[in-house]
């Protein structure tokens, strides 16, 4: 194995199975199988700063608890993103050993959420949250921001406040369809509402960081310090990235090889028009996955106000209760984490 000193934040999907069939799912149509511990042991020998289990509902993988127990013994900071099913099946000791936990919630009422995700989705999520908090597990809600739920931010923040948990926001990416993409106006209105009603814990959304003038943050972590592994053992620079030219076995043999990968180089591409922008060092051209799925990898982020001759004035308060390193997802992908105020 080639010696490599870079530490990585790993997103790992061990299965494509899921108990739900959500309309906005980015994993729909992917291929793969249930990964086993033998597939992953070499990965866990690499320098990993943090690891999150996501993509499918990992608890449906019959090998998952064996994989999880092995990771926890290794002492790796481990997170889990779940619709609640996996939380329900894990033991108390497994849950309490997690560094933190994300539970998906895209709407603030049972009727809307169950209509979107399926009957019982609300009760599954709420019971998972309640159980986690009863065990003092660091939990948060995660919301996929879409054009159909931009008005749900404040109600969901109220739910977070009632439980004393943070909210993580992922902006919908048009992996399969542009059907749920927030418009430019919806995106920025949602960001303003979010920052007006909650304290910022961390942000790795480059275009937002640019408008906040967060000079200590440089671009997206995707494909640089953060990589994803799918159930087909492909390695990708971003959870949404559609294609791979690196296998898990290759990555484990020589982690540094990703920097010669065409796909990993593509995600770091900076559009020409962005190179003279005063925000370049922070933004780096915005979210490359969003640009790629919109068919314009060589063009600026579609949510960029500068290219429109505009600017967006944002103000925010920073959370003192939770520091960015407190969550596995901080600086993990293009996401925001906030704490209700």
The answer to whether residue 332 sits within a structural domain is yes
Residue range 17-23: mean pLDDT, rounded: 91
Question: CA-CA distance, 313 to 192, in Å (whole number)?
Answer: 9
Structural domain count of the chain: 1
Strand partners, 228: 11, 236
Encode 210-220: b = buried (16+ Cβ within 10 Å), e = exposed: bbbebeebebb
Give, as one character, the DSSP assignment of residue 148.
T
The answer to whether residue 105 sits within a structural domain is yes
Strand 100-104 and strand 139-145: pairing? parallel
Q: Which of residues 277 and 329 earns the better pLDDT score?
A: 277
The single residue listed with the structure tokens 């509902």 is: 57
The answer to whether residue 178 sits within a structural domain is yes
Question: CA-CA distance, 243 to 237, in Å (whole number)?
Answer: 9
How do residues 84-116 score in pLDDT, each as one tens digit? 999 999 999 999 999 999 999 999 999 999 999
The answer to whether residue 228 sits within a structural domain is yes
Q: Which domain holds residue 35?
A: 8-207+221-265+316-340
Question: CA-CA distance, 290 to 126, in Å (whole number)?
Answer: 31
Question: CA-CA distance, 222 to 230, in Å (whole number)?
Answer: 15
269 touches 288 (CB < 8 A):
yes
How do residues 101-157 score in pLDDT, each as one tens digit? 999 999 999 999 999 999 999 999 999 999 999 999 999 999 999 999 999 999 999
Q: What is the CATH number of the domain that holds 87?
A: 3.20.20.70
The answer to whether residue 259 sits within a structural domain is yes
The answer to whether residue 150 sits within a structural domain is yes
Residue range 308-335: mean pLDDT, rounded: 77
pTM value is 0.93
The answer to whether residue 49 sits within a structural domain is yes
Through-space distance between the first and last CA atoms of the chain, rounded to whole angstroms: 48
The answer to whether residue 310 sits within a structural domain is no
């Amino acid at each position: 194995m080639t010696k490599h000193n870079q530490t990585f934040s790993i997103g790992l999907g061990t299965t494509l199975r899921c108990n739900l069939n959500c309309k906005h799912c980015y994993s729909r149509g992917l291929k793969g199988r249930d990964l086993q511990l033998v597939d992953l042991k070499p990965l866990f020998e690499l320098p990993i700063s943090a690891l999150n289990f996501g993509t499918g509902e990992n608890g449906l993988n019959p090998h998952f608890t064996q994989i999880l127990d092995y990771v926890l013994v290794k002492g790796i900071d481990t997170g889990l993103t779940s619709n609640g099913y996996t939380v329900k099946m894990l033991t108390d000791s497994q849950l309490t050993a997690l560094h933190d936990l994300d539970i998906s919630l895209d709407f603030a009422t049972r009727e809307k959420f169950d209509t979107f995700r399926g009957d019982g989705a609300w009760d599954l999520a709420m019971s998972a949250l309640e159980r986690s908090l009863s065990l003092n597990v660091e939990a948060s809600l995660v919301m996929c921001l879409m054009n159909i739920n931009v008005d749900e931010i404040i109600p969901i923040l109220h739910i977070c406040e009632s439980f004393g948990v943070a909210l993580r926001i992922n902006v919908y990416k048009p992996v399969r369809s542009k059907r749920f993409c927030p418009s430019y106006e919806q995106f920025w209105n949602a960001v303003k509402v979010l920052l007006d009603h909650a304290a910022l814990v961390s942000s790795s959304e480059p275009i937002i960081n640019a408008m906040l003038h967060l000079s200590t943050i440089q671009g997206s972590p995707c494909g640089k310090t953060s990589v994803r592994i799918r159930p087909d053992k492909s390695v990708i620079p971003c959870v949404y990235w559609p294609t791979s030219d690196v296998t898990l076995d290759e990555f484990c043999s020589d982690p540094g090889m990703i920097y010669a990968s065409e796909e990993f180089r593509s995600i770091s591409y900076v559009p020409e028009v962005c190179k003279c922008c005063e925000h370049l060092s922070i933004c780096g051209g915005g979210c490359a996955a969003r640009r790629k799925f919109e068919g314009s990898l060589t063009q600026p982020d579609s949510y960029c106000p500068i290219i429109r001759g505009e600017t967006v004035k944002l103000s925010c308060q920073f959370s003192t209760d939770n520091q960015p390193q407190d969550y596995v997802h901080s600086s993990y992908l293009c996401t925001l984490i906030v704490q209700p105020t």
